[in-house]
Every structure is written in C-alpha cells, then in structure tokens.
Amino acid sequence: MSSSGHIALVPRLLGWDYADLPADARKTFEVALHAGSAPALALALRGGVLRDPGLQALTFLPPALIGLAFERPIERRLGGVRSVAVAQVLGGAALIAADLRPERRSRPTALDALAVGLGQAAALVPGVSRSGAALTAARLRGLSRPAAASLSLRAALPVTVGAGVLKGVRAARDGVPPELRGAAAAGAAAACISALAALPLASGTRWREIGLYRVALGTVALARSPDRTYAGDSSG
C-alpha cells in the first residue's frame, strides 16, 4: 500500500511535523521501516523466494538497476505531497482496473517476471506501492490472482532487503543520532506487525478494496494538502 506514500501523507493529514525533521532523521526512520517489513515477508515466503532463480532475477534487476541510477533524482522531483497523492490515486485505479482482467494463466513466464520487475521499478516514485505495482503488472499479464500474489511476494523480498541495505549504508555513513534509535526501533516493530497483518490482503482477492482505499487516501490528501517537497531530500 506504499510505505513512502503513507510516510508522506499520513503525518501531513494528522498535522504532525515529520516533514520539518532533518533529512537524515527521516532517512533513518525510513530505513527502519524497510528493515521491519523484511522479516514479515521472509516469514510469509518460508524459503520460497528462490523457487525459480531465473524468474527471481528478472523481477529484481529492473528495480535494482533503475534504483541505483535514478532513485535520488526521482525522490527530489516527485517527493511533494501532491505528487505522492496523485501516485496513490493512479496506482489504486490501476490496481482496480488490472484486477478486472480475466485470469488466463497460473504459471508465470519470463515476460511476466520482467513485467513485475518493471512494476517494482515504478515504485521508486514516492506513493507508488511496490506490492500494488507488482500485482497490477501480473494481473495485466493475465496471471490468476493466486499466481500474481505468489510472484509479487517472491519478488518483493530481495528488493525490500536491497533497498534497506542501500539506505542503511547511507544512513550509517551520515551517522544515526542517538535520540532517534528508540523511534527507529519502534517504527521497525510497527512495520513488521503491519506487514504481517497486510499479507493476507495481498495474498487474497480483496485488491479492489485496497485500490479504493488508495484512491480515497490520495483524494483526501489532494483536497487538504498543498504541495510540499521534503527539505533536504537531495542529500544523503
């Protein structure tokens, strides 16, 4: 459902001053969220991530290569509240439309895996859900709901771990303020719990409800929030 989207929109809608925190503090917290969600994915997969190494590579390479090249420019240009809200609306609508497609196949192909990888690469745009984009790509390719859910979950873990490691290295390089350690630990725990709670939704058939929620969240944010890009996003 897009952790980056919720990080940008929820504090703003609730009147929190998250956007006013220093950039390194926000990055540390976001790294903690990635670290917390990874164990939940690993638990759900129970060793099934490398069921087909070839397909796994095709889901991983697009987000890895595009992320290394363009992650920071994308965050700088598309990190504003309105941009994130628009991404929520469009991503939710795309998921709803994709889930209306007929279920034609249950066995993923190399092209399916590549499509899922490109979907995960699209999630570099703040507000685009990685799991939502992967599910959308898989369903647009005609995969059944169970097959799409399985492929997207197996694709999510390496990318989540890779993004967490990359951002963790940057955060460690810049230094983690001691006063943030407690908040980061709490954020990691909350991310793990919420990921575990959300996994049945991602693995089930309630994707249209998830899409409607994202459209509603983005619409409310657009109605209530002027554009604002996080100060200092270009650093780190």
**Can you give the pLDDT at residue 202?**
61
Average pLDDT for runs of 10 along the chain of length 236: 71 73 70 77 68 88 90 79 90 93 93 95 87 92 91 85 74 68 79 77 71 91 66 36
**Can you give the pLDDT at residue 205?**
62
**pTM score, two decimals?**
0.77
**Can you give the pLDDT at residue 80?**
79
**Can you give the pLDDT at residue 235?**
33
Domain boundaries, the chain: 3-224
Q: What is the dihedral of CA 172, 154, 75, 83, to 10 degrees?
A: -140
User: Which segments within the chain are labelled E, that is strand?
Assistant: none
Buried b / exposed e across 191-230, counting CB within 10 Å, b at 16+?
bbebbeeebebbeeeebeebbeebbebbeebbeebeeebb
Buried b / exposed e across 104-118, counting CB within 10 Å, b at 16+?
eeeebeeebbbbbbb
**Can you give the pLDDT at residue 1?**
58
Burial of 47: CB neighbours in 10 Å, binned 0-12, 13-18, 19+: exposed
**Can you give the pLDDT at residue 5?**
73
